[in-house]
Amino acid sequence: MKNKKLFNVLINSYALYLKTQSYHWNFVGQGFYEKHLLFQSQYEDLALAIDAIAERIRMLNEFVVISFEVLGKESKLSKITNKSDDMMKDLCDSNKKLCGFIKDAMKGADEVTQALLQERLAIHEKNCWFLESSIVKK
């Protein structure tokens, strides 16, 4: 695949989508409702992003094949916690890692791909800010 870096963004966006949706379902504790809605807004945005990135790869004349095997093998964000206290930090860390993958994919990308990735970068930076601002400091 010529667009390996863009595919890396897609795979890790998909992993973050699954993780965020899982946390949406499984978070318990203080601030449940607000976090439930925050996670929902983020995974819904990721669903649209995954489609846009995959379609961009197809526009670059490459096929997009994602399976659970590929996802497990290629994703750097697949580890999931079942501790509600750790979910916010984990999602923030995952968004930061994804920002790094996006920045890497922007290098040498064409203008249209860079514009798509720039938009995603801004969203993930904002998500991280929301998540960090919601973490209760002990």
Please answer whether residues 109 and 56 qualify as being in contact, where contact means their C-beta atoms are separated by less than 8 angstroms.
Answer: no
Nearest to 5 by CA among 109, 86, 89, 88: 109
Q: Which two tokens stand for residue 133?
A: 């601002």
Q: In CATH, which superfamily holds the domain spanning 4-134? A: Ferritin, core subunit, four-helix bundle (1.20.1260.10)
pLDDT at residue 134, rounded to an integer: 86
Return the pLDDT at 110: 96
**In the chain, what are the domain boundaries?**
4-134
Q: What is the pLDDT of residues 95-121, one digit of tens each?
A: 999 999 999 999 999 999 999 999 999
Residue 136 has pLDDT above 70, yes or no: no
pLDDT at 135: 81
Query: Could you give the residue ranges of the DSSP H alpha helices within the chain?
Result: 4-26, 32-59, 68-74, 84-106, 111-134
Grade residue 78 by pLDDT with cuts at 50, 70 and 90: confident
The one-letter amino acid at 86: D
